[in-house]
Amino acid sequence: IKEGGENLRSIICCIMGHVDSGKTKLLDCIRGTNVQEGEAGGITQQIGATYFPAKNIRERTRELKADAKLKVPGLLVIDTPGHESFTNLRSRGSSLCDLAILVVDIKHGLEPQTIESLNLLRMRNTEFIIALNKVDRLYGWKTCKNAPIVKAMKQQNKDVTNEFNIRLTDIITQFKEQGLNTEIYYKNKEMGETFSIVPTSAKSGEGVPDLLLWLVQWAQKTMVEKLTYVDEVQCTVLEVKVIEGHGTTIDVVLVNGELHEGDQIVVCGLQGPIVTTIRALLTPHPMKELRVKGTYLHHKEIKAAQGIKITAQGLEHAIAGTSLHVVGPDDDIEAMKESAMED
Ligand code: GTP
Ligand code: MG
Ligand code: NA
């Protein structure tokens, strides 16, 4: 349900950073889930997607008493792996998003995949915010569960504040060495030129309201055109996987347009174009991870932006990272098959 007059779609935000910096845990903190603990070796190995309705973002940011007037229906967050072997998945995630969160472990500073992620984002001119995560690991940190960061910092003793400032200054220098100006977000007077840093704890939630509010406000302020809903379907295949009871399914991100049960679609396949019909459009419940097996909501139709699981026949050889096309009444299917294979 829209609050404003504009017809905006949900914001698509990608979360990136070095392995174990806390990307999945941050999403767990916002969702109230334990996805990270269920991962093999604690390592993310697939792209995920979670939908956060505006209502939940409003609740989570209430304490900041900002004018959190939300014009977008929600926020779709794409989780990516930080392990070095998944560069292709980071690239896929970053190519889809309107803006990004770059997570840095405050105790580690910039690491190889932080820099790789940073470069992927810069290459595409994607705006991002830096989550300086694991502040609760500063020695002597006093937990202020889910508090805005300024409020939490006020509770800390001198030693914690000192360690925080030393690490922050050091990390700002490391970014500078990468040619990037950064500043803690509430002191940043040159948004757009200087990238903002939000200290966070994925364990106890400090700074999480700030992170959410910044994302939504920044997107609404600077990306209205990009976020204006377009009817033409724009849809990318994130993952291809077999799900018990559903056969081979594809997880997609619908960036624009609408999908319907029964739509004829064309997808790029290993052995040529796949033409098939959408049997079911499934989503997890709001605030649940698409890549985690759970109960799905069935939809007759679904409007962008969303992360969706599609079941259909013949998806076995579909190729992740390619576009999904919907066949319209006037479309030449042969031409569409050709263009699908150009991906
Ligand atoms: P990959 O997806 O594998 O790249 O890792 P990730 O960035 O998603 O990190 P993940 O969420 O798997 O967290 C890695 C480890 O750090 C886990 O043991 C988390 O519990 C822990 N962790 C993450 N964030 C925090 C935090 O803010 N504070 C503390 N104390 N631990 C954290
Ligand atoms: Mg992860
Ligand atoms: Na991890």
Q: pLDDT tens-digit profile of 255-314?
A: 999 999 999 999 999 999 999 999 999 999 999 999 999 999 999 999 999 999 999 999
Residues 6+ apart with CB under 8 A from 337: 266, 272, 273, 275
Structure tokens given for 48: 């995920």
For residue 57, give the nearest of 36, 82, 75 by alpha carbon.
75
The owner of tokens 């263009």 is 339
Tokens, residue 183 = 């500043």
- pLDDT tens digit sequence for 8-48: 999 999 999 999 999 999 999 999 999 999 999 999 999 99
Nearest listed ligand to the Cα of residue 103: 1
Terminal CA-CA length for the chain: 35
Checking if the pLDDT of 128 tops 80, the result is yes
**pLDDT score recorded for residue 67:** 61
Provide the percentage of residues in the chain whose pLDDT is more than 70: 98
Q: What is the pLDDT of residue 70?
A: 85
Alpha-carbon span 82 to 185, nearest angstrom? 24
Q: Which amino acid is at 153?
A: M
Q: How confident is the model at residue 319 (pLDDT cuts 50, 70, 90)?
A: very high
CA 33 to chain centre: 16
Ligand 3 centroid distance, CA of 113 (Å): 13
- 183 strand-pairing partners: 196
Cβ pair 324, 267 in contact under 8 A:
yes
Residues 6+ apart with CB under 8 A from 37: none
Please determine, for residue 6, whether its predicted confidence score (pLDDT) is greater than 90: no
Distance 157 CA to ligand 2 centre (A): 31
Query: Is residue 69's pLDDT more than 90?
Result: no
pLDDT in the model for residue 191: 83
**Exposure letters 14-38 (e unless 16+ CB within 10 A, then b):** bbbbbbbbbbbbbbbbbbebebbee
- Give me ligand 1 centre to Cα 135, in Å: 12
Reading the block at residue 341, the tokens are 């294979």
Instruction: Calculate mean pLDDT across residues 161-190.
Output: 97
Ligand 2 is a single-atom ion; what residues have CB below 5 A from it?
23-24, 44
Residues 81, 90: contact at Cβ < 8 Å? yes
pLDDT band at 68 (very low <50, low <70, confident <90, very high): low
Structural contact between residues 27 and 91, judged by C-beta atoms closer than 8 angstroms: no
Give the count of beta carbons closer than 10 Å to the beta carbon of residue 126: 18
How confident is the model at residue 101, as a pLDDT? 98
Q: 181 C-alpha to center of ligand 2: Å? A: 26
CA atoms within 13 Å, Cβ hemisphere of 93: 28
Amino acid identity for residue 37 in this structure: E
Partnered with residue 258 across adjacent β-strands are 303
Q: How confident is the model at residue 3 (pLDDT cuts 50, 70, 90)?
A: very low
Question: Which band of pLDDT confidence, cut at 50, 70 and 90, is reported for residue 340?
Answer: very high
Give the model confidence (pLDDT) of 182-199 as tens digits. Answer: 999 999 998 889 999 999
Residue closest by Cα to atom 15 of ligand 1: 20
Mean pLDDT over 77-98 rounds to 96
Nearest CA to ligand 1 atom 26: 134
pLDDT at 238: 95
pLDDT of residue 53: 96
Ligand nearest, relative to CA of residue 23: 1
Name residues contacting ligand 1 (CB within 6 A): 17, 19-25, 36, 42-44, 81-83, 133-134, 136-137, 201-203
Angle between helices 23-31 and 208-222 (to 10 degrees): 90
* Tens digits of residue pLDDT in 199-232: 999 999 999 999 999 999 999 999 999 999 999 9
Q: What is the pLDDT of residue 185?
A: 96
Average pLDDT across the chain, whole number: 95
In DSSP terms, 8 is beta-bridged to: 228
Q: Look at residue 1 and tell me whether its pLDDT is greater than 80.
A: no
Structure tokens at 140: 């002597």
pLDDT at 323: 97
- Whether 325 has a pLDDT exceeding 50, the answer reads yes
